[in-house]
Amino acid sequence: MTQVEGVKRVGPPQAVQKLRENFYLVQVPVNEVPSADWKRLFYDTQQAPPADFPPRSVEMLGLSLRFRSEGPLVEQRIALIDKWIERANQKETSMGGRSEERQKRREELGREQAELAEWNGKWAKL
């Protein structure tokens, strides 16, 4: 069993699109694709989220979490997202019985990543 349990942020935020003056679409990478159950916990179990940045404003796409934000607020929002990730992981762990499902997901993700890397290598010079 690895030390990493659950979904974890594995890199810094990156602006992927400028939406308007000083307002961006920001993306952060995570270590695994969140399951439907985990997403529900992330969205629904947060305590007193700020009205201007509820958990539902974070979109989950594969190995990325995306949100829209003014530049100066990104650091504060990343801190909230980290807290929400931790809380969702704690809730999932307390529910029990998820480790086998999680291990299968990780193995499948590993196979998918290897396949993607193989194709990307073949396409690198196109």
- Rounded average pLDDT over 1-27: 87
What are the boundaries of each domain within the chain? 14-97
- Rounded average pLDDT over 96-104: 67
- Please check the confidence at residue 1 and state whether its pLDDT lies above 50: no
Q: How confident is the model at residue 109 (pLDDT cuts 50, 70, 90)?
A: confident
- Mean pLDDT over each residue of the chain, to the nearest integer: 88
This prediction's pTM? 0.77
Q: What is the pLDDT of residue 98?
A: 59
pLDDT tens digits for 30-74? 998 898 889 999 999 888 899 999 999 999 999 999 999 999 999
Q: What is the pLDDT of residue 48?
A: 86
- Please check the confidence at residue 103 and state whether its pLDDT lies above 80: no
**DSSP structure string for 44-95:** HS-SS--TTS-GGGSEEETTEEEEEEEGGGHHHHHHHHHHHHHHHHHHHHHH
In Å, how far are 28, 32, 104, 114 from 110, measured between CA atoms? 19, 9, 10, 6
